[in-house]
Amino acid sequence: MGAFETISFRPENCNGCNDCMIACAQAKAQSDDAARSRIQVLSSDGSYELAMCRQCGDPECVHNCPAAALSKDAESGVIDWDASKCVDCLLCTVGCSYGGMVYDVDAGHVAKCDLCDGDPACVKACPRGALKFLTTARIYNEVGNLEDLFVPGLAGCQGCNTELIIRHAMRRIGPEAVVATPPGCIPGMGTVGYNGLTGTKVPVFHPLLTNTASMLTGVRRYYKRIGRNVKVVALAGDGGTADVGFQSLSGAAERGEEMLFICVDNEGYMNTGMQRSGCTPYGAWTSTTPVGERGRGKTQDAKNLPLLMVMHHCAYVATASTGFMEDLYDKLDRAIEASEHGFAYLHVYSPCTTGWRFPSDQNIEVSRKAVRTNFVLLWEFDPQSGLRLTHAAEDPLPLAEYVMALGKYRHLSEEQIAHIEGTIAQNVKFVKGLAAGVPLAAAPA
Amino acid sequence: MKRQAYEFFDQSAIPDDLCPIATKPSPMLPGDWRSMRPVVDRAKCVKCAQCWLYCPVQCVVERPAWFDIDLATCKGCGICATECPHRAITMIEEAA
């Protein structure tokens, strides 16, 4: 068993240009005739639908084939068609509900998509991003059999991005770890347990908001002294990191303590009733920056905490988002590795359905939009190679697509949006400047 | 692929002169919070694992030919249905 790569189609991005069909015909039939393509985009009432093989989990075409010419590859998930066995009965075309089996008149055989060995020509040809090749199945195949280190029932809100982050992070970090969760949503949802029960399958403790990094310093040093390599991990909110928790964080980073500090940034004190924090962006509604006759949301800009951590010369600093999971996993791996010899800091943006006021099913889409509008920049830093953007900041979507999706920004005036756009432009310029600069330290000898 | 599982920590290894330390996992299951229930259309599932990847509760379980939802813990947020690239998951209302 395992997961497989797939091609996704967003009809709202398609304009029926047929570039994908021509690319497929060229790649698979050496022809410019779109009719010979294995991918067919069909128009109906101004919208588009896709007819192509989806490499089904339980393929009807394979069941129907009397000659065993079709088979599902257990590794790639691709349904292979064997020309030497095919008897041209076309029963496979009858079984398929998705128009995946094409009859190629010129060749006199059926033809089907084989995902171009993991590099589909149609996806590369699509100029509008309507077709996407999703390769995230590899994450499932890599870590899907590792145990989730939290109990099945945590009391995060429906669609909680923070719960998603901590479950993925701890699964990757593994059981040889001690976790600290300062006050906030993470212990609040039950990771430290209720009523004498625990919510985490590794040792977990609940420091004060102020001393998370100091306590982990001691825990790590103790285990080192007794000769055990135990990873120490902080799962903290933005309040426990940027505001109240900052002095101990800054001290531990300056001393280069060996730990992994993960900040789950939901831009406010969401657990206690959505108060503003130092990470709350300009213009955002919170319960302490209300919107009414006089108030129009927060009047100050957010502090850029990950850049502050860069200035601490940490062994590794990165920003990540659950909208870009492969990137998040890469950074998690690097952060875990860096925490073996220095301070690793991972800043993950975590849209909060309850506090930001948007429907719970939109959480990942909001994460994606935050990055695509440059509201959130994804980058990583280590002293040897300097800062590197991991998601190009060129051609961002209009900011309105992000802010208007969120209830906390719905009141924004044009001047306020212009202010945020100005801040984003400044931030992009600043981070790009850092990315173009030289590494802060020479490589160790 | 056998699921890797770790031993829960050993209660007897904990000194009894410390502050109370919890060693039993919380049995709370949030499945009854749900007002909308995800239903997977097995024929449409291609096992791309997008639902598993983005499920905050991590309640998506693998079956031989499709991915299914563990309804004991699913909170019904609807992320899986929104993210499924092949529209194999629909949210239906829970019966009252």
Establish if A139 belongs to a structural domain: no
- Say which of B45, B53, B75 has its CB closest to residue A325: B53
Whether residue A265 is found in the same domain as residue A410: yes
Encoded tokens for A255: 């001393």
Q: A287 with A419, same domain?
A: yes
Q: Same structural domain for residues A96 and A161? A: no
Residues A150 and A201 in one domain: yes
- Tens-binned pLDDT, residue by residue, of chain A (445 aa): 789 999 999 998 999 899 999 999 999 989 898 889 999 999 888 889 899 999 998 899 999 999 999 999 988 999 999 999 999 999 999 889 898 998 888 888 899 999 999 899 999 999 998 999 999 999 999 999 999 999 999 999 999 999 999 999 999 999 999 999 999 999 999 999 888 899 999 999 999 999 999 999 999 999 999 999 999 999 999 999 999 999 999 999 999 999 999 999 999 999 999 999 999 999 999 999 999 999 999 999 999 999 999 999 999 999 999 999 999 999 999 999 999 999 999 999 999 999 999 999 999 999 999 999 999 999 999 999 899 999 988 889 999 999 999 999 999 999 999 999 999 999 999 999 999 876 655 544 4
Say if residues A342 and A258 touch (Cβ distance below 8 Å). Answer: yes
Smallest CA–CA distance, residue A83 to chain B, in Å, is 24
- Candidates A168, A127, A131; CA nearest to A6 is A131
Report chain A residues whose CB lies below 8 A from the CB of B77.
158-160, 353, 360-361, 363
Same domain, yes or no, for A152 and A96?
A: no
Q: Provide the 10 A C-beta neighbour count for residue A104.
A: 18
A18 in a structural domain: yes
- CATH number of the CATH domain containing A207: 3.40.50.970
Distant-in-sequence, close-in-space partners of A56: CB < 8 Å, separation ≥ 6: A79, A98, B43, B44, B45, B46
Pair A81, A194 in one domain: no
The answer to whether A215 and A240 are in contact (CB under 8 A) is: no
Mutating which of A8, A158, A264 best tests the B interface, going by the most B Cβ atoms within 10 A? A158
Domain shared by A115 and A229, yes or no: no
Q: Is residue A140 part of a domain?
A: no
Closest alpha carbon within chain B to A163: B56
Q: Are residues A272 and A399 in the same domain?
A: yes
Partner-chain residue, chosen from A58, A139, A145, that has the shortest CB–CB distance to B65: A58
ipTM of the complex, rounded to two decimals:
0.92
- Is A215 in the same domain as A254? yes
Same domain assignment for residues A223 and A368:
yes
Please, are residues A97 and A23 in contact by the beta-carbon 8 Å criterion? no
CATH classification of the domain holding A98: 3.30.70.20
β-pairing, A386-389 with A379-382?
antiparallel
Q: Do A134 and B50 touch (CB under 8 A)?
A: yes
Closest by Cβ to A3, choosing from B44, B47, B82: B47
Q: Do A152 and B59 touch (CB under 8 A)?
A: yes
Domain count, chain A: 2
Same domain? For A204 and A303 the reply is yes
Q: Who contacts A248 (Cβ-Cβ below 8 Å, separation ≥6)? A: A210, A211, A212, A213, A214
Tell me: do A227 and A93 sit in the same domain. no
Contacts of A133 in chain B (CB under 8 A): none
Domain that holds residue A291: 146-442
